[in-house]
Homo-oligomer: A and B are copies of this chain.
Amino acid sequence: MTVMHLSESTEMYLKAMAELGGQDAIAAARLAERLNVTPVSVNEMVRRLGEQGLVSHIPYKGVRLTKKGREVACNVLRRQRLWECFLYDHLKIEWSQVYEFACSLEHATAPEVTEALAGFLGNPQTCPRGNPIPAADGSFKPLDAMPLSEAKLGEMAQVLAVNATATDVLKYLQEKNILPGRVVTVIEVAPMQGPLTLHVGGKDVALGLSMAEFVLVKKIDK
């Protein structure tokens, strides 16, 4: 089984699916949003990925990673998050920029470099955004967390991870103190898909639902 070289584009499609999808099928439109391409382009690409056995597409149901596709995706996530650790911990790059820089490096990283980097970093388990780093064999224990968007009024929760990728979104979350480790309390839930109001770090913060989807939290009792 030769390890063909996959393009940056291919790796990004697979990574996006792993980040969005968990196990279930993903609507092509969601992929299009995240990758900033048109749905037509996603459909074309999905056909190509299907031919390579990386995804399966059930029309009108969605796209799903195959075993092979998931393996590749986990490996991309590993490279990405290891670079995030290096950029943040050793190069002292701005937290909100770490993702985008790592997202370039991930595609230019040979297996030998990935593993040497993991060793250099001491085999970290999570990246600066709180996401778990898949092991070299691809194994991967997903966070036991729920999206903040599902939290109810009055609930307290601890932020475990931020799954956003856009630098401006990350910058916004950083400014508002919505960062891994922080505890937030939901003090208002506006109707009609309106924003959540949170209490965090001594301040009140309004957070739109779609942003809150990318904040993964663990409920705290009491």
Contacts and interface: CB of A to CB of B under 8 A. Distances in A.
Given A107-B108, A108-B107, A108-B108, A113 B90 contact: no
Main secondary structure of the interface of A (DSSP, over half): helix
Contact of A113 (B87, B110, B116, B120): B87
Interface size class of A (residues with CB under 8 A): 20 to 34
A105 B113 CA distance: 10
A104 interface: yes
Contact of A109 (B90, B104, B112): B104
A78 to B, nearest CB: 16
A101 B110 contact: yes
A126 to B, nearest CB: 21
A93 interface: yes
Contacts of A91: 113, 116-117, 119-120
A222 interface: no
A131 interface: no
Contact of A116 (B92, B105, B107, B119): B92
Contacts of A117: 91
Contact of A105 (B87, B97, B105, B120): B105
A108 B113 contact: no
Interface of A: 87, 90-94, 97, 100-101, 104-105, 107-110, 112-113, 116-117, 119-120
